[in-house]
Structure 1
Amino acid sequence: MTQIQTGEELGFFILEKNQRLHLNYDVESYSTKREKKWLTASERSYYLRDTILSPIRNEIKKLAESLTNSIRDKKEKARELFYYIVDNYKYVYPPSSRGALSFLECRKGDCGEFSFLYTALCRSIGIPARTIMGSWSYGKMNGHAWNEIFIEDEGWIPVDTSMGNIQKNKWSKFFGSYVKTLPWTRYFGETEGQRVVFSKDTEIELIPPYSNNENELISLEPLYINNKPFYWGFQSLNGKAPYLQPIYIEFENIDEFKLPHNVSDFFGFWQVKEKGLYRNLLYLRNISFAIGVGLLCISFFLDSLYIELIYKLSFIVSILASIIRKVKVIIFTIFLLIMVLSVVITISQLRSTIIKIEFLTIYHLRFR
């Protein structure tokens, strides 16, 4: 185990053939509030450095300066860069190439490219920044990347340009998701608190040194970084892991290597489970929604106001659980009002039917 400059420990494991490594972690949702409010000179230099994924090039520096020249406050400069990326780039998965330079050229990429470019733009004008590699705190292998910038006296501030972009331009993408969402502007300076972190920055130095197997790599399927081929698991970026999510593998023998068929063969496999109230709300949401859908289908064959009332109430319970979980609160609140109105109408119809039945029964008995 080695202490690295981001403040975390890096583990090194050698696995024999057919041997598995299984790690269990108990983690909390990640918050920058627990991070320190100052940086040493070496830490500041580290988070302003030039890297392959987030390079400090003339075109990047000129772009950042042109966007922020009229702004004096560093936090407001960073906010302006956030607005620029949200408004001018398109979320596409998977990207054709990784890295800020290729993203700057094609303007299409996933959360990684959004965060690599934001890191580069901030660093180019003297704002310490890092790309956070982590995961949403639910489900299997829901990897995500975002940023943190350092502002004096405030500390590390979260910024998520890709979620800002999605919530502004593709608001329905997380509709019905387990993920709580925020209005797009709030992704500068805030997250929803449903994340875990694997690595606080990219291009982490690998200790012991990575061997870089260069033989016959042309026969493998490459990943592209800044439009140049890169062979994951056989190469490093100048002795550094491109990113840890949560590991970086070094395959020893290329002759025995068969191209993996899924991402977990490269990255390992992870699963995150919620606990407590939010997990119970999730179960309640899913179960009540399933009951509602089932009864809705039955109502097409059985004309019953009682079935109609129950499936509408089931949907209300599901919607309430989503609102409490803070998933698309405004939209689900509108749905809730519509469903409550619909239930009132159904109850009114049901009362009218019951009164009508009672009247007919009395009428029948009186004039029998």
Structure 2
Amino acid sequence: MRKKPIVVDYLYKNSLDQTIELWLPIPEGLDPSTLKPSQLHRLPTGENLGYFILHKNDTLHLRYTQEWYPAKGETIPLSKEEEAYYLRDTVLSPVNEETLDLARNITSGLNSKRDQAKAIFRYIVTNFKYKYPPKSRGVKSFLRFKNGDCAEFSFLFSSLCRSLGIPTRTLFGSWSFGKMNGHAWNEIYLEDEGWIAVDVSMANLRKHNILRFLYSDLRTMWWEKYFGKTEGQRVVFSRDSEIRLMPAYGASQNRSIAIEPLQINDSAFYWGQESLEGTAPYLQPAYVKLDTQNLLPGTCLDVKNLLGFWKVKETGWRGFLAQSKKYLAIIGLTTMGITYIYGNGYLEFVFKFSFVALFTCFVLRRERVFLFSVFLVIMTLSLLSTISELL
């Protein structure tokens, strides 16, 4: 049984000469009292939103464990308020006449909510391209440019499903390995199944760019399986976009050129200096309010000032194998290069043994199992040949 195999480490340090306001959903299972938020509010998503005031050099540090992300949630019926929330019209995922017409065209002749959602999934996967960073955020821009990153794929999926009355939310989180390795995907609510996962952007990449994750620590799947299933190697920071900030996000008097604006539906949006109609565009994992009027001359803001910093890693035997892959690849490639230069039989043994161990790690972690099983067999036979020559 896989119990809490993922460790999340999040840090926000106020390095500016001012006080900063910060909103952060409190991770499940973490006692809010240990973080000491100034205020705590219950969100319609079921999460607790912490509000923090950080003075100069103050640090907010969270370290917690999570289990693998489940592809399916509980089948508890949604209340009328919850259903309305996950069908709402927003800036990034609008529900309007245009999205309704498109959704109806995509799902013509389909009656069940599941079939309709799957048709929308297949349409987006087939007709849009992955591009990071996108020119502009939001469905309006995505429909215009036909390309975007994981957030844009998720926003459009939410928009089209909601237009047909399918409760949908966009999740923001991170892959279970690496630093600042953010990701966005969806969940839809079906009465007989509860919340189920849908990852449109990963399906798109697996369909159109099959070699992209060849050496990744990610257990990739056939693209169609990303409807209703995931590999589990992800953590959730927040369970929807455009979450209302409480207490209210105060208006700023001006905008600082220290921060390059984000484009939302082709309009400039200054992250950390304004809200999106009282909401954070998304919480990954936090949203801040900076006093840009009082920034010191020459101040340059980076992503750590706007989002903080996080790193995530798998623990246990899976984490050990992931780390081993890195060292084995270095050893194997280095000794292989030296072997081909000097032709040393013992170094040849080392590099082949390193690759046998490396491919074994991939197979044990269930990453591209068929491909790396073939590599493993070939390299094992080559290794045995080298051993026989040395003997």
Tell me if both proteins adopt one fold, taking TM over 0.5 as the criterion. Answer: yes
Alpha-carbon distance change, 218 to 58 in structure 1, aligned in 2, over 3 angstroms: farther
Q: Deviations over 1:104-160 (max 9, x none)?
A: 110111001010001001101111100000000112110000000111110111000
Q: Which residue does the alignment assign to 2:271?
A: 232
Alignment partners' CA distance in 2, 1:169 and 1:345 = 38
Instruction: State the shift of 1:215 in Å.
Output: 2.1
Q: Which residue does the alignment assign to 1:62?
A: 101
SS of 1:191's equivalent in the other structure is: coil
From 99, 119, 134, the counterpart of 1:95? 134
From 112, 131, 149, the counterpart of 1:110? 149
RMSD: 1.8
SS of 2:160's equivalent in the other structure is: helix
Bigger relative contact order, structure 1 or 2 (CA pairs below 8 A, ≥6 apart): 2
Q: Which residue identity does 2:192 align to in structure 1?
A: D
Q: Which has the higher helix share?
A: 1
Instruction: Single out whichever of 212-221 and 168-177 deviates more from structure 2.
Output: 212-221
Give identity over the alignment, percent.
48
Q: Which residue does the alignment assign to 2:25?
A: none
Q: Which residue identity does 1:149 align to in structure 2?
A: I
Q: Which residue identity does 2:267 align to in structure 1?
A: K
Matched, 1:294 2:334: yes
Q: Deviations over 1:313-346 (max 9, x none)?
A: 2101101101221222232223223323433443
Alignment partners' CA distance in 2, 1:215 and 1:288 = 52
Structure (1 or 2) with the larger CA radius of gyration: 1
Instruction: State the shift of 1:57 in Å.
Output: 2.2
Q: Which has the higher strand share?
A: 2
Alignment partners' CA distance in 2, 1:75 and 1:246 = 30
Q: Which residue does the alignment assign to 2:382?
A: 342
Q: Which residue does the alignment assign to 2:201?
A: 162
Q: How does 1:1-368 map to 2 (within 5 A)?
A: 1-216=40-255, 220-256=259-295, 260-347=300-387, 350=389
SS of 1:13's equivalent in the other structure is: strand
Q: Which residue identity does 1:163 align to in structure 2?
A: M
Q: Which residue identity does 2:184 align to in structure 1?
A: A
Instruction: State the shift of 1:32 in Å.
Output: 4.5
Contact 1:289 1:315 in 2 (8 A): yes
Alignment partners' CA distance in 2, 1:334 and 1:105 = 43
Alignment partners' CA distance in 1, 2:370 and 2:293 = 53
Alpha-carbon distance change, 125 to 303 in structure 1, aligned in 2, over 3 angstroms: same
Q: Which residue identity does 2:163 align to in structure 1?
A: S
Instruction: Report the TM-score when normalising by structure 2.
Output: 0.85
Alpha-carbon distance change, 59 to 112 in structure 1, aligned in 2, over 3 angstroms: same
Contact 2:71 2:229 in 1 (8 A): no
Alignment partners' CA distance in 2, 1:265 and 1:113 = 24
Instruction: State the shift of 1:254 in Å.
Output: 2.4
The count of aligned residue pairs is: 351
Contact 1:260 1:266 in 2 (8 A): no
Instruction: State the shift of 1:36 in Å.
Output: 4.1
Contact 1:137 1:194 in 2 (8 A): yes
Instruction: Report the TM-score when normalising by structure 1.
Output: 0.90
Contact 2:255 2:273 in 1 (8 A): no
Unaligned runs of 5+ in 1: 355-368
Q: Which residue does the alignment assign to 1:362?
A: none
Q: Deviations over 1:8-57 (max 9, x none)?
A: 00000111123222222222222244534321111111100000010012
Contact 2:73 2:195 in 1 (8 A): no
Contact 1:214 1:235 in 2 (8 A): no
Contact 2:75 2:192 in 1 (8 A): no
Q: Which residue identity does 1:265 align to in structure 2?
A: N
Alignment partners' CA distance in 2, 1:306 and 1:65 = 66
Alignment partners' CA distance in 1, 2:383 and 2:248 = 66
Alignment partners' CA distance in 1, 2:368 and 2:273 = 42
Contact 1:199 1:246 in 2 (8 A): yes
